[in-house]
C-alpha cells in the first residue's frame, strides 16, 4: 500500500551503529507501532468500520533486514469472517475499483495521509532512538 522511507544522516548512522541490529529492530518496530495506531485512527475517522475486522487486524508484518536497512510493512492482516482479505478490502477502499471514470474511485484514506504517517513514525522512531542511546550511555 503506502510506503514511507526514512534516511539517516551519517552522524546519526554512526551513533546508531553502536546499538547493533537489535537496537535498529526496536527503533523500526516503535515506528511501526505508531503507524498501526495512526492507521486505526484514520480507518475509524473515515468510518470504514462495519464489523471492525479490518481495523482490528492492522499490524506490522514481517521484519525485513538488508545489508544497510531494516523495514517492516504495516497493513491489515488476515481474512475477515467471510474469508475476504482485510488487505484487499483496504486496497479497494483506498484506490477504488474499475478503470472507467464512472466506476467507484477510492477515498485515499491511506495514501492521502502519507505525510502524517511519516511524521508519526519519525517521532516514535526518534523517541526510541533517544531512549536507546541514553540507555547505552548509562542514563
Could you report the average pLDDT of every consecutive run of 10 residues in the chain (139 residues)? 56 68 92 96 94 95 89 94 94 85 78 91 92 83
pLDDT at 47: 93
Task: Give the residue among 125, 122, 117, 124 at the shortest CA–CA distance from 16.
Answer: 125
Contacts of 58 (CB under 8 A, 6+ apart): 36, 39, 40, 43, 74, 75, 76, 77
Residue 87 and residue 75 in contact, taking contact as beta carbons nearer than 8 Å: yes
Report the C-alpha gap between 85 and 93 in whole angstroms.
Answer: 13
Report the C-alpha gap between 9 and 91 in whole angstroms.
Answer: 33
Amino acid at each position: 500500500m503506502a510506503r514511507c522511507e526514512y534516511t539517516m544522516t551519517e552522524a546519526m548512522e554512526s551513533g546508531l551503529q553502536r546499538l547493533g541490529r537489535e537496537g535498529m529492530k526496536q527503533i523500526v518496530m516503535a515506528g511501526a507501532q505508531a503507524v498501526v495506531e495512526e492507521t486505526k485512527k484514520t480507518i475509524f475517522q473515515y468510518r470504514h468500520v462495519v464489523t471492525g475486522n479490518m481495523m482490528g487486524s492492522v499490524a506490522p508484518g514481517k521484519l525485513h533486514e538488508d545489508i544497510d536497512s531494516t523495514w517492516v510493512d504495516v497493513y491489515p492482516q488476515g481474512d475477515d469472517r467471510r474469508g475476504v482479505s482485510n488487505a484487499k478490502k483496504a486496497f479497494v477502499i483506498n484506490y477504488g475499483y474499475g478503470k472507467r471514470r464512472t466506476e467507484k474511485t477510492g477515498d485515499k484514506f491511506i495514501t492521502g495521509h502519507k505525510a502524517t504517517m511519516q511524521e508519526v513514525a519519525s517521532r516514535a522512531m526518534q523517541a526510541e532512538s533517544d531512549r536507546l542511546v541514553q540507555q547505552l550511555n548509562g542514563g
